[in-house]
């Protein structure tokens, strides 16, 4: 048989694989015969076929027509058709969409669902052949049964994965095939409801009820009526968060304990800033010791006394964009009164990092095109000038939390800024855990450089004493019976060694385990003898990881899944992102996340969530299997692509690339890493650009992608390698910046 393709979904047609029409088979019945022989393999008697296609003719006419049809078919399909005196058989059937559909049905349901099965043999009229018409109708019925089974399976799977939007689509298609299927309506209606389309869900219920009653006269099933009642009542069908779970444990809040010495130092610094001086404050210590807490209390004090606070955070595993922590901090200054005092030239430069500035100052010109080292200087100076303009109005506190994770570009910029601000009322506060850093990590180098600056103060936080842990417990637990309370504090200290994060996690876990309880009227804590008496074996988790893990395990499944996605999303996780990944409405996401924020798993800022403490993130991460992580990354990558504004998704490209890589989507990873690299170069961040290129190179799938990577690598190397000494920066206008000392340029 020559290489031919028989299409039977839609108007039947025979063609070459490239789509060009095959030599015509003549009368439509010849094509019908070919279809029948293709789908019904094995030998058929001449009588059977004659009756099938020419049943309305005399025997003689039918035999003649069959003979002619066979001659014609033979000329088209050649050796593939074996004809004897009694029988005929298609030994080599053509490629046929129906056969492909049947093969995919079990192996690859999603692919099978892509065939247009409802249009089997449509648009071709075979007259005077009642036998054939009957065959078409039975075959169509058989195919549709398989097709419905596949759609049902896909719809159910989507429901199980909480992809309710997808479930709606599958169910709609199912209803298109079989409008009397109660199961399809049940899935559709439930999914619509879960997406937040309650009134649409009710409409479809009504549609099914009238349709089905009209057709069969039968009433709907009890399950269907039950679903209807729930939706009418507006009650969620998905109530994973039990009352019991909600009731367990109070929200733990504790005033700052200890830290008197550090606080005095901070207040000295504050007074210096008020007098117009600058300060660099480094808060060091192990994870959980209370660095962020102390810095937060300081910034709160500052803003209560008129300071502008700009806060940004470093992230693990380079999930952010270049200068991400600084960008995050600068965003906080968008509403500050001094902003408009910035020279437009510098504002223009700052738009490279902060495009939002254009919304506030629409008349700003585009920054100069081109990428050269002098451009990097202009960008850095733009940021410095912007903050100095804010500081001209009121003192500024710039807080960089978790500096240890800042990438090299961010560190270079911070180093520059610390020196540029040396005579402005700006406090640069950074928290960091140096223990996690290699000596040559950019943040470690930056710290060494900052420490030697005149205005720098380093504070190393130690764990709390047993007495201080007792103060925490006493205060939060409204404890009166001091003796038992102290015994309890002793046990807590014994396990936690005074790390306040660990203390908090341990207490929360003990509430979740039921080892501790709070009286509802007074808020007073009570505990059983197994907690209070040291002769009893300790019921509490022995490590902070165990404590977190125990509590995460007790989270209702849906919340745990959202938490996992937020953790893997890294630096920031938008409501929209969670809504897409889990197929639930934004409203529903917000409600669930509120629960996680209340339980202190997440923190929220303007609809963006992230995990409240890296240690929690670490535990959640470890407890996911590798394949689960991969799937989540993949979903995040795909969802980001959907929610990212404007092709080519520049702002999101880096995030998409990383998630695609970790989700096993190599081509996509390479494509977006290239975009991210170009964007990084546009921000004068060659190191970052190179990191993206490394990722792109590792994932390139074909020569074209490899060539692109190579081309861009040359460009970045030329920029980063500074093959020629940079000439003095070219300024468009003479501004106060032209008086800058040359030393400010040497920030490398
Ligand atoms: N001195 C303190 N007094 C009371 N609570 C504290 C103190 N230090 C830290 N905490 C609490 O311990 C937890 C962890 O502190 P955090 O500042 O996040 O640690 P770090 O930033 O060092 O990892 C937070 O819930 C915080 O409120
Ligand atoms: Mg911290």
Report the 3 state secondary structure along 441-472: CHHHHHHHHHHCCCCEEEEECCCCCHHHHHHH
Mutate-to-test residue for ligand 1 from 500, 601, 616, highest number of ligand atoms within 8 A of CB: 500
- Which residue shows structure tokens 């404007």? 646
Quick one: pLDDT band at residue 171, thresholds 50, 70, 90? Answer: very high
Residue (of 726, 735, 248) closest to 510 by Cα position: 248
Residues 6+ apart with CB under 8 A from 547: 502, 505, 506, 508, 509, 540, 541
Q: Is 504 in the pocket of ligand 1 (CB under 6 A)?
A: yes
Contact call for residues 510 and 530 (beta carbons, < 8 A): no
**DSSP SS3 for 253:** coil
**What value does the mean pLDDT take over residues 550-572?**
89
CA torsion 37-40-43-48 (nearest 10°) is: -80
Q: Whose CA is nearest to atom 27 of ligand 1?
A: 293
Neighbours of 430 (CB within 10 A): 28
Q: 179: which residues sit within 8 A by CB, 6+ positions away?
A: 211
The pLDDT of 715-736, averaged and rounded, is 55
If pLDDT is split at 50, 70 and 90, which confidence band does 321 have? Answer: low
* pLDDT exceeds 70 at position 528: yes
Q: Is the CB of 599 under 6 A from ligand 1?
A: no
Nearest to 634 by CA among 652, 656, 613, 649: 656
**What pLDDT is recorded for position 132?**
92
Q: Is the CB of 279 under 6 A from ligand 1?
A: no
pLDDT given at position 306: 87
Q: Cβ(615) to ligand 1 under 6 A?
A: no
Collapsing DSSP states into helix, strand and coil, what is residue 583? coil
Q: Tell me if 501 CB under 6 Å of ligand 1.
A: yes
Nearest alpha carbon, ligand 1 atom 24? 501
551 vs 368, 496, 529, CA distance in Å? Answer: 53, 16, 22
Position 326 pLDDT exceeds 60: yes
| Residue 725 pLDDT grade (very low, low, confident, very high; cuts 50, 70, 90) | very low
**43-79 confidence digits (pLDDT tens):** 999 999 999 998 888 888 988 999 999 988 888 888 8
DSSP character for 2? Answer: -
Q: How far is the CA of 613 from the centre of ligand 2 (A)?
A: 7
Q: Determine the pLDDT at residue 282.
A: 95
pLDDT for res 375: 82
Alpha-helical (H) ranges within 463-574 are 466-477, 482-496, 500-513, 529-532, 544-553, 557-569
95 near 8, Cβ under 8 Å? no
**For residue 614, which atom of ligand 1 is closest to its CA?**
23
- pTM beyond cutoff 0.85: no
Query: Is pLDDT above 50 for 672?
Result: yes
C-alpha to C-alpha distance for 314 and 298, rounded to whole angstroms: 19
**C-alpha closest to that of 310 among 388, 399, 382, 393:** 399
461, 290 Cβ separation under 8 angstroms: yes
User: What is the DSSP annotation of 617-650?
Assistant: HHHHHHTS-HHHHHHHHHHHHHHHHHHS-STT-H
Q: Which residues pair with 312 in a beta bridge?
A: 400
Q: Strand 608-611 relative to strand 602-605: parallel, antiparallel, unpaired?
A: antiparallel
Residues lining ligand 2 (ion), CB within 5 A?
Answer: 292
Helical packing angle, 544-553 and 500-513, nearest 10°: 40
pLDDT tier for residue 721 given thresholds of 50, 70 and 90: low
Q: Using a 6 Å cutoff on CB, does residue 508 contact ligand 1? A: no
- pLDDT tens readout for residues 260-297: 999 999 999 999 999 999 999 999 999 999 999 999 99
Tokens at 429, concatenated = 């506060």
Cα 650 from Cα 646, distance rounded (Å): 8
| Joined tokens for residue 593 | 């996340």
Query: How far apart are alpha carbons 46 and 718 in whole angstroms?
Result: 78
How confident is the model over 624-637, as pLDDT tens digits?
899 899 999 999 99
pLDDT band at residue 562 under the 50/70/90 scheme: very high
Give pLDDT, residue 408.
85
Work out the number of other CB atoms within 10 angstroms of the CB of residue 327.
20
Q: Whose CA is nearest to atom 4 of ligand 1?
A: 256
Nearest CA to ligand 1 atom 16: 290
The tokens for 448 are: 């060494």
Degrees, nearest 5: CA angle 689-695-700: 120
Pocket test of ligand 1: the residue of 256, 293, 431, 509 to mutate, having most ligand atoms within 8 Å of its CB, is: 293
Over the chain, what is the mean pLDDT? 85
The larger pLDDT score, comparing residue 236 to residue 418, is at 418
If one compares 350 and 725, the residue with the highest pLDDT of the two is: 350
Strand partners, 96: 6
Percentage of the chain with pLDDT > 90?
43
Tens of pLDDT, residue by residue over 181-219, are 888 999 999 888 776 677 888 999 999 988 866 666 677
What per-residue confidence (pLDDT) applies to 742? Answer: 37
Q: How close is the Cα of 485 to the center of ligand 1, in Å? A: 21
Cis amide prior to 36 (ω within 30 degrees): no
Helix residue ranges per DSSP H, 113-181: 130-160, 164-177
Instruction: Confirm or reject: Cβ of 498 under 6 Å from ligand 1.
Output: no
Q: Kindly give the interhelix angle for 650-662 and 666-682, rounded to the nearest 10 degrees.
A: 150
Check pocket membership of 113 for ligand 1, CB cut-off 6 A. Answer: no
pLDDT tier for residue 244 given thresholds of 50, 70 and 90:
low
For 607, left (φ over 0), alpha (ψ -120 to 50), or beta?
A: left
Residue nearest to atom 23 of ligand 1 (CA): 288
Contacts of 47 (CB under 8 A, 6+ apart): none
CA–centroid distance, 490 to ligand 2, in Å, is: 25
- Find the 613 Cα to ligand 1 centroid distance in Å: 10
Index of the ligand 1 atom closest to the CA of residue 500 = 12
- Cα-based torsion angle of the residue sequence 334, 336, 340, 341 in order, rounded to the nearest 10 degrees: -130
pLDDT at 555: 84
CB 608 within 8 A of CB 573: yes
pLDDT recorded at residue 726: 45
Q: What are phi and psi of 515, to 5 degrees?
A: -75, -30
Instruction: Return the residue whose CA atom lies nearest to atom 7 of ligand 1.
Output: 290
**What distance in Å separates the CA atoms of residue 419 and residue 422, rounded to the nearest whole number?**
5
551 HSE (CA, 13 A, CB side): 30
pLDDT score of 238: 43
The CA dihedral of 704, 707, 711, 714, to the nearest 10 degrees, is 160
Q: pLDDT higher for 386 or 477? A: 386
Cβ atoms of 558 and 238 closer than 8 Å: yes
pLDDT number for residue 733: 42
The atom number, within ligand 1, closest to the CA of 291 reads 22
Structure tokens at 398: 């710039």
Q: Is the CB of 313 under 6 A from ligand 1?
A: no
The response to whether residue 613 sits with its C-beta less than 6 Å from ligand 1 reads: yes
Q: Name the helix (H) or strand (E) containing 680.
A: helix 666-682
18 or 328, which is more confident: 328
Instruction: Report the Cα–Cα distance between both ends of the chain, in Å, rounded.
Output: 71
pLDDT at 738: 36
| 237 pLDDT higher than 60 | no
Cα(189)–Cα(440) distance, rounded to whole angstroms?
A: 58
The pLDDT of 222-233, averaged and rounded, is 81
Confidence at residue 509, expressed as pLDDT on a 0 to 100 scale: 86
Helix boundaries (H) for 279-353 = 291-304, 324-331, 344-350
Q: Give the closest residue to 610 by CA, choosing from 652, 579, 566.
A: 566
* Predicted confidence band of residue 437 (pLDDT cuts 50, 70, 90): confident
- Decide: 747 and 415 in contact? Cβ < 8 Å: yes
CA of 269 from ligand 1 middle (Å) equals 21
Cα–Cα distances (Å) from 331 to 324, 350, 441, 479, in that order, read 11, 11, 26, 43
Per-residue pLDDT of 394-412, as tens digits, reads 999 999 999 988 888 899 9
* Count of H-run helices and E-run strands, the chain: 33, 16
State if residue 291 touches ligand 1 by the CB under 6 angstroms criterion.
yes
* pLDDT tens for each residue of 118-149: 999 988 888 888 899 999 999 999 999 999 99
């Amino acid at each position: 048989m020559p290489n031919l393709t028989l299409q039977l979904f839609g108007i039947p047609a025979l063609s070459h694989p490239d789509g060009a029409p095959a030599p015509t088979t003549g009368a439509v019945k010849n094509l019908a015969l070919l279809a029948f022989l293709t789908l019904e393999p094995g030998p058929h008697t001449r009588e059977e076929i004659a009756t099938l296609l020419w049943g309305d003719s005399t025997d003689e006419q039918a035999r003649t027509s069959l003979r002619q049809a066979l001659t014609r078919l033979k000329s088209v399909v050649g050796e593939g058709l074996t004809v004897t005196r009694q029988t005929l058989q298609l030994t080599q059937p053509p490629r046929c969409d129906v056969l492909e559909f049947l093969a995919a049905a079990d192996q690859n349901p999603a692919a099978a669902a892509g065939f247009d099965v409802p249009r089997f043999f449509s648009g071709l009229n075979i007259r005077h052949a009642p036998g054939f018409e009957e065959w078409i109708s039975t075959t169509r019925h058989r195919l549709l049964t398989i097709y419905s089974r596949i759609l049902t399976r896909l719809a159910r799977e989507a429901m199980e994965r909480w992809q309710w939007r997808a479930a709606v689509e599958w169910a709609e298609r199912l209803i298109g095939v079989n409008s009397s299927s109660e199961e399809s309506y049940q899935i559709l209606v439930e999914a619509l409801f879960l997406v937040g389309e309650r009134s649409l869900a009710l409409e479809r219920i009504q549609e099914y009820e009238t349709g089905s009653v009209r057709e069969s006269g039968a009433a709907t099933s009890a399950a269907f009526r039950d679903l209807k009642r729930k939706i009418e009542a507006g009650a969620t069908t998905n109530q994973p968060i039990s009352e019991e779970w909600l009731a367990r444990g109070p929200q733990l809040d504790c005033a700052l304990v200890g830290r008197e010495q550090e606080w005095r130092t901070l207040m000295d610094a504050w007074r210096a800033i008020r007098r117009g001086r600058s300060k660099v404050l480094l808060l060091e210590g192990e994870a959980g010791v209370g660095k962020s807490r102390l810095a937060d209390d300081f910034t709160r004090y500052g803003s209560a006394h008129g300071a502008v606070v700009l806060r940004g955070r470093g992230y693990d595993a380079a999930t952010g964009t270049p200068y991400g922590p600084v960008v995050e901090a600068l965003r906080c200054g968008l509403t500050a009164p001094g902003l408009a005092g910035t020279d437009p030239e510098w504002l223009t430069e700052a738009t490279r990092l902060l495009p939002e500035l254009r919304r506030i100052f629409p008349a700003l010109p585009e920054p100069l095109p081109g990428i050269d080292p002098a451009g990097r200087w202009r960008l850095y100076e733009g940021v410095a000038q912007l903050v100095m303009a804010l500081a001209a109005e009121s003192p500024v506190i710039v807080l960089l939390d978790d500096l240890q994770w800042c990438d090299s570009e961010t560190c270079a910029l911070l180093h520059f800024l610390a020196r540029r601000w040396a005579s402005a009322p700006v406090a640069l506060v950074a928290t960091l855990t140096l223990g996690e850093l290699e000596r040559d990590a950019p943040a470690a180098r930056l710290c060494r450089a900052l420490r030697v600056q005149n205005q720098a103060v380093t504070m190393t936080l130690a764990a709390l004493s047993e007495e201080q842990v007792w103060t925490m417990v006493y205060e939060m637990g409204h404890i009166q019976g001091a003796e038992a309370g102290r015994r309890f504090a002793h046990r807590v200290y014994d396990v936690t060694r005074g790390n306040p994060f660990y203390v908090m996690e341990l207490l929360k876990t003990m509430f979740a385990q039921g080892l501790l309880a709070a009286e509802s009227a007074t808020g007073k804590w009570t505990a059983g003898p197994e907690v209070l008496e040291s002769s009893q074996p300790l019921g509490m988790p022995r490590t902070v990881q165990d404590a977190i893990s125990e509590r995460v395990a007790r989270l209702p499944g849906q919340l745990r899944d959202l938490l996992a996605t937020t953790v893997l999303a890294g630096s920031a996780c938008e409501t929209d992102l969670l809504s897409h990944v889990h197929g639930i409405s934004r409203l529903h996401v917000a409600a669930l996340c509120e629960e996680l924020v209340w339980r202190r798993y997440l923190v929220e800022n303007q609809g963006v969530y992230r995990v409240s403490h890296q240690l929690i993130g670490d535990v959640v991460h470890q407890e996911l299997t590798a394949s689960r992580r991969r799937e989540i990354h993949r979903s995040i990558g795909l969802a980001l692509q959907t929610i990212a504004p404007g092709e080519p998704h520049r702002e999101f490209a880096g995030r998409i690339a990383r998630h695609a890589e970790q989700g096993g989507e190599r081509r996509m990873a390479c494509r977006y890493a290239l975009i991210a690299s170009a964007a990084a170069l546009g921000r004068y961040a060659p190191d970052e650009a190179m990191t993206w290129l490394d990722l792109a190179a590792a994932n390139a799938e074909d020569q074209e992608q490899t060539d692109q990577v190579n081309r861009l690598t040359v460009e970045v190397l030329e920029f980063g390698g500074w093959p020629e000494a940079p000439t003095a920066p070219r300024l468009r206008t003479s501004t106060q910046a032209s008086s800058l000392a040359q030393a400010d340029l040497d920030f490398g």
